[in-house]
Structure 1
C-alpha cells in the first residue's frame, strides 16, 4: 500500500466521486481509477459503490477511510519531525472549533502563531458541538480541536486538556430593563423570550435546564445557524445565552451583556490525538495551553 493510493482514496471519499477528486488532486482520472482498482485488488474488498458519477463508500471503505486519514497524519508528523531541525515549525494544522471557541481562544492562538511561527498555516473547521469536534479529531479530519463541554471530551486515542472555564452570559436586546451592576439572577428571567440554537450544544443544554426551573421562559426563535443569533437579539426578537467569547462583539454591537449571579461556568477544552504529531501541531498545542492558562476571566465583563 502506497501513500499515493491512500491520498487518492481519501480524496474520492471526501469529494464524493472520481471526477471531482481528480480535479482537486490535479491528476488524470484514469490514473486515479487505476490506483484505486489496484488498492481494492490488494485488499480484496470493494471500497466504493459506483452510483452514476458518484462514488459512495462501502462498509469496508468506511472502515478504511478513518484509518487512512490517521495514517496520512502520522506520516506528515514523521516527515515534519525529520525536517524541523534548525528550521522551526512549518506546514499546516487543521483545527476544529465550536463557534465560541473559534472567537476565543482560537483567534488569539492564531495571532500568536503568526507572530512566532509564520511558516505555519492554521486552518479552522466549524463544528456545532463538542461531540462533532471530537469526531473530527478522532477521524483524522483535524489534528486538534477546541470546544466547551461540561465533562472532559472522550474518544479513542484522544487527549483532553482543560484550558479555562468560560462563563455563560445573558445577551439581551438594547434597552432591556433587567439586572443590576452587570449581573442578573435567574429568577429575573421569568416571562422572557429567547433565541436558541437547534443543535445539541452545551449552551442549549444550559437553556433547557434554565427553562425547567424559571416560570414562563419561552423560545421566540430556534435557529440552526448560530451566526444569526446575535443579529436576531439586536432586532429585539429575544434574548440569548452566549459564552463569554462573544461578550465584546455583542457589547460593541449594542446588546446588553450580563453575567449570571451566581456565575454559570462551562469548561473549555483542547483535544488532540495521542502519539506522533507534526511540529506545527505541537506548536499549536503549546501556544493553546499557554493562552488558556493566561486567558482573562469573565469577571472583567462590564454591562
Structure 2
C-alpha cells in the first residue's frame, strides 16, 4: 500500500532537484529516502527516477505522477484540516499563486481580513509571471488557490474560476510630468514619442504596451526588466513612463508619481481559481473571504481618478 510518507518523499525529490537536497530539507538520511522511493516504485510497478551518475532524473512515469502525487497530498491535508477545524475553526496554511499586480491587490487586503477573521490561517504567496503559470501551479497542486488577470476565463481540468473584478491599466509618469494632452485622462495617441519601462514578454502589461506600440507607433523601450518591483522606482527616477495595473495606483501616488487613466479605459478581468472538491479549512477561509469582499464592494474603482 502506498504511504503518505512515500509520496511526500517523492514530491520533495522533485521539488528540491535530487535525493541529497531532499534528504537535507526533510532532515532524513539519504539511504532511508532511497529505500522509501525504491519501495514506492515496486508498489507502483514503475520507475520514477533514472539514476544518471549521481543525478536522479524523472522518468516519463515520474513526470506523469508528480502532479498527481501533489494533489493526493493536498487532498489528505484537506481531510486532516477538516477534522481539526471542527473544534478549532479555520486553521493552517494556504498556498496562493498570484501575478504581481494581484499579489498587491486583492491579496494584501484579503490577508488583512483573514488576520482579523481567522487568526489561525497563514497565507504563503508564490509569484507567477502570467495567468497561465498561475493556472498551472493550481492544477498541478503546487498551490491551492490562484489570483490572476486574464482576458479569458481560466480553464483546466477540475478548476473553478470566479470573476473578481475588472482590473484597470494606468499610465504612470515620473513626478512633475504630464501627458501631451494635459487632460485628466490620456488617450493612446498621446503616448507617441514617450519612453517606457517595460516588463517581460509574458505579462498582460507587456501585451498592452506591444499593442500600443503597434497601433500608436513611436514608443521607445527605455528599460526592460524581469523583476516588476523595480518598474516604479525606475519611473520615479525619470527613466521612463510605465503601464501599471491599478493595484499599484495608491503606492505610485504616495511615492510622487503621476497616475492617469486611459480613455477609453483599458481593463482585464481578474480571477480567483481553485480546484473543485474538498479543500482545507484555511483554503476555504481564503476563498470565502475573497468572494465576500467582492460582494461587499461591487463596482470598486481602485484607480481612484
**2:204 is the alignment partner of 1:196:** no
Q: Is contact 1:144–1:271 with CA below 8 Å preserved after alignment?
A: yes
Query: Where do residues 123-134 of structure 1 align in structure 2 (5 Å cutoff)?
Result: 123-134=124-135
Cα displacement (A) at 1:54? 3.4
Q: Is contact 2:246–2:302 with CA below 8 Å preserved after alignment?
A: no
From 215, 218, 236, the counterpart of 1:216 = 218
CA distance in 2, matches of 1:111, 1:51: 48
Query: Where do residues 148-297 of structure 1 align in structure 2 (5 Å cutoff)?
Result: 148-178=149-179, 179-180=181-182, 182-295=184-297, 297=300
The number of aligned residues is: 302
CA distance in 1, matches of 2:142, 2:229: 23
Cα displacement (A) at 1:181? 5.1
**Unaligned stretches of 5+ residues in structure 2:** none
CA distance in 1, matches of 2:90, 2:158: 24
Q: TM (normalized to structure 2)?
A: 0.95
Q: Which residue of 1 aligns with 2:304?
A: 301
CA distance in 2, matches of 1:71, 1:228: 38
Query: Where do residues 34-53 of structure 1 align in structure 2 (5 Å cutoff)?
Result: 34-53=35-54
Cα displacement (A) at 1:160? 0.6
Q: Which residue of 1 aligns with 2:144?
A: 143
Q: Is contact 2:249–2:303 with CA below 8 Å preserved after alignment?
A: no
Q: Which residue of 1 aligns with 2:119?
A: 118
Q: Which residue of 2 aligns with 1:58?
A: 59
CA distance in 1, matches of 2:243, 2:189: 15
SS in 2 for 1:282: helix
Q: Is contact 1:134–1:271 with CA below 8 Å preserved after alignment?
A: yes
Q: Which residue of 2 aligns with 1:14?
A: 15
Cα displacement (A) at 1:166? 0.9
Q: TM (normalized to structure 1)?
A: 0.96
CA distance in 1, matches of 2:251, 2:55: 42
CA RMSD, aligned part only?
1.5
**Unaligned stretches of 5+ residues in structure 1:** none
